[in-house]
Amino acid sequence: MALLLIAWQDLKRSFRDPVGILMTLAVPLALTVAIGLVAGYTPFGKAPNDGFDALSYIAPGMALFFMMFSVRQAAKTTAEDADRGVSDRLRASPASDLSIRAGTMVSHIVLLFLQLAVLVGISTLLYGLQWGPTGPVLLVCLVVSVTAGGWVGLLVVLGRTPSRINALGTALTLIFGIVSRSFAAVIPTTGWMDRLARITPNYWGLHAFSSLALGGSLRSVLPDFGALAIMFAALWIIVSAAGALVPSRR
């Protein structure tokens, strides 16, 4: 019960934070719409069938890129809560440490999932973009979001303070975006980049989205799910050992 209470409180708080809403939803949505218009799409019209389709190529990568911005924002909020003593007040309440950790994590995952799902939904409704079968696509959004939730924790472990998390999170977002080919249209990638990309949720998420968009089924993305699950487990272990999901200022 405490878990749901904490998750719901965090979600309500996030939706009342204008900066959070701007970074999580408004900017990615505006960019998706803009790229669609530049690529020759007409809202609620037919997709262009001649030449290079920038939106189909970029949309999944951009969605995952902005998800990492939200990861940074979530980590920063977690560190701010620790600074303000909110985390300690939670820990002094009757809620168990596991409920607090899981509740915080659930709120991050729900927000990340909503962001991905809204981008998928809007690009589908507005421009008729083909992401693949709805169920598996949403499942990819969920699995990627869960893994990204682990990255929230790792950012808190590595950054500790809101300002350092901000800097580190921005760097990580850009590096993950580049190595996982979110900007492949403008930045060429190399062999070592591909190898490095495998530690990013972007890479596996992009791989899964591409598989589904090219007609793949749920079975075709199971290896991606496996990689993401291993990544999440490793992150959870590191973060739990460092006690950083509910960090204390003490």
Rounded Cα gap, residues 40 and 237, in angstroms: 46
Q: Is residue 170 close enough to count as binding another protein by CB under 8 A? A: no
89, 198, 214, 223: which one binds another protein (CB under 8 A): 89
Which positions from 105 through 164 interact with another protein, judged by CB under 8 A?
A: none
User: Between residues 90 and 227, which has the closer beta carbon with respect to another protein?
Assistant: 90
Among 44, 50, 92, 188, binds another protein (CB under 8 A): 92
**Distance in Å, CB of 13 to another protein, minimum:** 5
What count of other Cβ atoms lies within 10 Å of the Cβ of residue 42?
13
Least Cβ distance, residue 9 to another protein (angstroms): 5
Apex CA 21: angle with CA 17 and CA 22, to 5°? 115
Task: State which residue, 195 or 249, has the beta carbon closest to another protein.
Answer: 249
Nearest to residue 147, comparing CAs of 208, 100, 98, 86? 208
Rounded to whole angstroms, the Cα distance separating 131 from 103 reads: 30
Give just the sign of the alpha carbon dihedral 229, 235, 237, 243: negative
- Where on the chain is the footprint of another protein (CB under 8 A)? 2, 5-6, 9, 12-13, 16-17, 83-86, 88-96, 248-250
